[in-house]
């Protein structure tokens, strides 16, 4: 979604401030059985670097298997007199779904949004949903038998002197079996930042970032929706939740989520929360002032990862079991995923590649994307990682096994 367009729409409007009093966060409130484990790093200088030479990379590189879901990722529909583009492809358990947007040339919002289902042999497409009453559909993802997305609506508001338009963000759950929609939440675009969704079959997560009326102070909270129990789970948050980058996501990995927080002395903490038990692992990494661009926290039950100098420096990975710190090349990492002791990093450099870092053997293996550029990782099936890929014309999925 074009962020500038949203901000321009909202600019100049006057709205009541929202105050977040309770952090919506997960369904397993704190209790006597909830465990919190504390870890700390005194220095990053001793981090073990996992790397390989250019010669080693040539020897340890193989091509990923790819499947093209859409032969043309954009075009023009003469019947509709609209341009169109494929905004997102997702796959799960052998089924694929595509989000297709229609818009007028140079328009900043769309006239029509379609969701297409692709057959198991990936040869036929069927439109399962069409919307013409929203300005944009974004953050398209799949989890179990549901699709999820964020809808952007124009909403007229009358303050007794003039009528203005604002943008509303609506988080939608779509049942693939019944074809029914459920609204999980609504946020006023004048007060809230855009929503970045993550979903699997058990949970849906996002940050709520709410601005005070002065437009200078933002409060971050976390929403975790329990799909099976159909409710949001809550507990109190002791430290202040922090988003160091505007489009941080709450990745759901190995049954938990990860986020940054700061205590009253501006010490930075990386938090790993087990969503079913409420157990928390806290890694204290020092004061915010010691680092330039903190971002990109990620975790499994054993490993915690983060940037200290996003876009330039290393990506750090801490082994909670061995209390051991690693670092890998962080320049150009666009997305990441971890299974077992293998950490996958998708590099969006001049020569796109996925590198697999073995945190047990401290070795590296590379996957060539065969001319495609990689975007977000997604869990396709047990033990199989999918990576959204594009080239000049095609859109599809790469499979890493």
For residues 60 and 52, the answer to whether their CB atoms sit within 8 Å is yes
CB-based contacts of 81: which residues, under 8 Å, 6+ apart? Answer: none
The closest of 15, 13, 74, 47 to 395, measured between CA atoms, is 74
CA distance 316 to 304: 8
Q: Which runs of E-coded beta strand occur in 50-135? A: 61-63, 65-70, 74-77, 82-92, 95-103, 112-118, 125-131
340: helix, strand or coil:
coil
- Quick one: which of 174, 172, 67, 76 has its CA closest to 119? 67
CA dihedral 23, 25, 31, 35 (to 10 degrees): -120
Yes or no: say if 84 and 75 are a contact pair by the CB < 8 Å rule: yes
DSSP assignment, residue 289?
Answer: G
Pairing of strands 61-63, 363-368: parallel
Q: How are beta strands 112-118 and 95-103 bridged, if at all?
A: antiparallel
Domain architecture of the chain: domains with CATH: 3-400 (2.130.10.10)
pLDDT of residue 8: 43
Q: Determine the pLDDT at residue 165.
A: 56
14, two tokens: 């006057």
Per-residue pLDDT of the chain (401 residues), as tens digits, is 444 444 443 434 333 333 333 333 444 444 445 689 999 998 899 999 999 866 666 566 888 888 888 899 999 999 999 999 999 999 987 789 999 999 998 888 899 999 999 987 777 889 999 999 999 999 999 999 999 999 999 877 555 554 445 889 999 999 999 999 999 999 999 899 999 999 999 999 999 999 998 888 999 999 999 999 999 988 667 789 999 998 999 999 999 999 999 999 999 999 999 999 999 999 999 999 999 899 999 999 999 999 999 988 999 999 999 999 999 999 999 999 999 999 999 998 877 899 999 999 999 999 999 889 999 999 887 778 899 999 999 999 999 87
């Amino acid at each position: 979604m074009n962020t500038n367009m949203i901000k321009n729409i909202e600019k100049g409007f006057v709205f009541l401030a929202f105050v977040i009093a309770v952090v919506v966060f997960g369904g397993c409130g704190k209790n006597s059985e909830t465990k919190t484990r504390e870890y700390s790093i005194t220095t990053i200088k001793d981090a073990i670097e996992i790397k390989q030479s250019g010669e080693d990379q040539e020897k340890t590189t193989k091509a990923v298997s790819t499947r093209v879901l859409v032969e043309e990722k954009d075009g023009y529909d003469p019947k509709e007199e609209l341009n169109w583009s494929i905004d997102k492809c997702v796959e799960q358990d052998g089924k694929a779904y595509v989000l297709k947007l229609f818009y007028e040339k140079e328009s900043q919002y769309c006239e029509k949004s379609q969701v297409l289902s692709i057959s198991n042999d990936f040869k036929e497409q069927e439109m399962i949903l069409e919307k013409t009453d929203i300005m944009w559909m974004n953050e398209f993802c799949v989890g179990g038998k549901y699709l999820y997305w964020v809808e952007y609506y124009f909403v007229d508001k009358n303050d007794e002197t003039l009528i203005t338009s604002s943008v509303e963000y609506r988080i939608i759950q779509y049942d693939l079996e019944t074809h029914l929609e459920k609204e999980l939440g609504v946020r006023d675009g004048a007060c809230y930042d855009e929503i970045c969704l993550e979903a699997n079959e058990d949970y849906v997560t996002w940050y709520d970032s709410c601005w005070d009326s002065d437009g200078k102070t933002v409060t971050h909270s976390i929403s975790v929706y329990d799909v099976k129990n159909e409710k949001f789970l809550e507990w109190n948050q002791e430290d202040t939740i922090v988003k160091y980058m505007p489009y941080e996501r709450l990745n759901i990995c190995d049954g938990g989520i990860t986020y940054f927080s700061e205590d009253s002395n501006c010490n930075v903490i990386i938090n790993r929360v087990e969503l079913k038990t409420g157990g928390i692992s806290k890694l204290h990494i020092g004061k915010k002032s010691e680092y330039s661009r903190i971002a990109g926290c990620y975790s499994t039950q054993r490993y915690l990862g983060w940037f200290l100098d996003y876009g330039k420096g290393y990506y750090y990975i801490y082994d909670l079991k061995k209390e051991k710190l690693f670092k890998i090349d962080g320049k150009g990492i666009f997305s990441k995923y971890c299974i077992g002791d293998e950490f996958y990093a998708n590099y969006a450099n001049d020569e796109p590649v996925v590198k697999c870092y073995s945190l047990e053997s401290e070795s590296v293996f590379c996957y060539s994307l065969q001319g495609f550029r990689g975007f977000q990782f997604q869990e396709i099936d047990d033990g199989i990682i999918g990576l959204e890929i594009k080239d000049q014309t095609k859109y599809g999925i790469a499979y890493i096994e």
